Structure 1
């Protein structure tokens, strides 16, 4: 197997998304640390891997990719026979999973990422959290989670009865938010709360979390 290299940082939600997928698929990889504090991601050497200067950048042999969700799709298809099945070949089930992957990317992530920045990133780098922004985006997240609560009353996971990329893609921001005041929005909804407990306890995800160093 060609050596897989993930250029990024364990604190990055996008990098963590890719790493979780690789661990679920039981595919070996090498993490190449990128020091974003010194602007390494904006240097020419890194821009050759990711033209937008963001992490992660991904290489599998002569294949070079960026954008975390595109990378997780590639991993899930290329290594379909290994580890956890994160996609399906059943057309109708695939369509349903795709819907909820889009919901994560278009509805959940913009809100969750803003809250993660305000409640997790800002305190870590010494900035002041804007509580007005937090309240605004917690209301928006609550609206999304109301829909999740109904969906998770119909199936164990968002994409159906099996864990898939539709669930995995939520893990990085969810993990940060569950250590903040926003966790109450997840915990007060029984179906959502059970889903969060389930997917955050997956061995692949615990490996990602264990790799963070402070």
Structure 2
């Protein structure tokens, strides 16, 4: 596989974040300089490297925040109660905690349903990290007795089903289930 190309100066905090992640996993990469003082980062050639624009990037950030603050918090409690406690701790789920978090999840799913009526994916009509980030918890929700909560949100259910069909997610699901 060709090395990942990282465009920008290593002194940039944004570039440094990417580099440290690549170094942590031992990924091969190539650092391609971008001359910031000359304004090269604003040149048409440089901007053409990224298919996304700033508004698309902002939408990805918004939906990652929504996921972390609403979807994931409710889902974590539900999956912990329904899967982790019975499977790994030999205990019984606390129905009160599950019901409370199902209520929170339903409120989040209402927002997702409204968005999914207008766009195929969360940040627009393109798959992004915002969508992929929802995969692990959505996968586990489908394994709980509460998967039917999605039935009231047909666009969200379709979005999740479409995500689950993606080859990369299928491969990761196999690893999660092994």
Fold match, TM over 0.5?
Answer: yes
Higher mean alpha-carbon deviation, 164-173 vs 122-131, is at 122-131
Alpha-carbon offset, residue 112 of structure 1: 0.7
**Count of matched residue pairs:** 140
C-alpha separation between the residues in 1 aligned to 2:51 and 2:93? 41
TM (normalized to structure 1)? Answer: 0.59
Alpha-carbon offset, residue 59 of structure 1: 6.2
2:16 aligned residue: none
Larger Rg: 2
Is 1:64 aligned to residue 52 of structure 2?
A: no
1:188 aligned residue: 152
C-alpha separation between the residues in 2 aligned to 1:100 and 1:213? 27
Selected match of 1:178 from 139, 142, 146? 142
The correspondence of residues 1-214 of structure 1 with structure 2, limited to 5 A, is 60=22, 63-64=23-24, 89-125=52-88, 126-212=90-176
Question: How has the CA–CA distance of structure 1 residues 88 and 108 changed in structure 2, closer, same or farther, with 3 Å as cutoff?
Answer: farther
- Which consecutive unaligned segments of at least 5 residues does structure 2 have? 5-19, 26-30, 32-49
Q: Relative contact order (alpha carbons < 8 A, sep ≥ 6): 1 or 2 greater?
A: 1
After superposition, the C-alpha distances for 1:127-162 in whole angstroms (9 at most, x for unaligned) are 211111101100110000011000100101111101
Which of the two has greater helix per residue?
A: 2
- Which consecutive unaligned segments of at least 5 residues does structure 1 have? 4-24, 26-57, 66-77, 79-86
1:177 touches 1:183 (CA, 8 Å); kept in 2? yes
Question: How has the CA–CA distance of structure 1 residues 59 and 156 changed in structure 2, closer, same or farther, with 3 Å as cutoff?
Answer: closer
Question: How has the CA–CA distance of structure 1 residues 213 and 171 changed in structure 2, closer, same or farther, with 3 Å as cutoff?
Answer: closer
Runs of 4+ displaced beyond 3 Å? none
Alpha-carbon offset, residue 98 of structure 1: 1.1
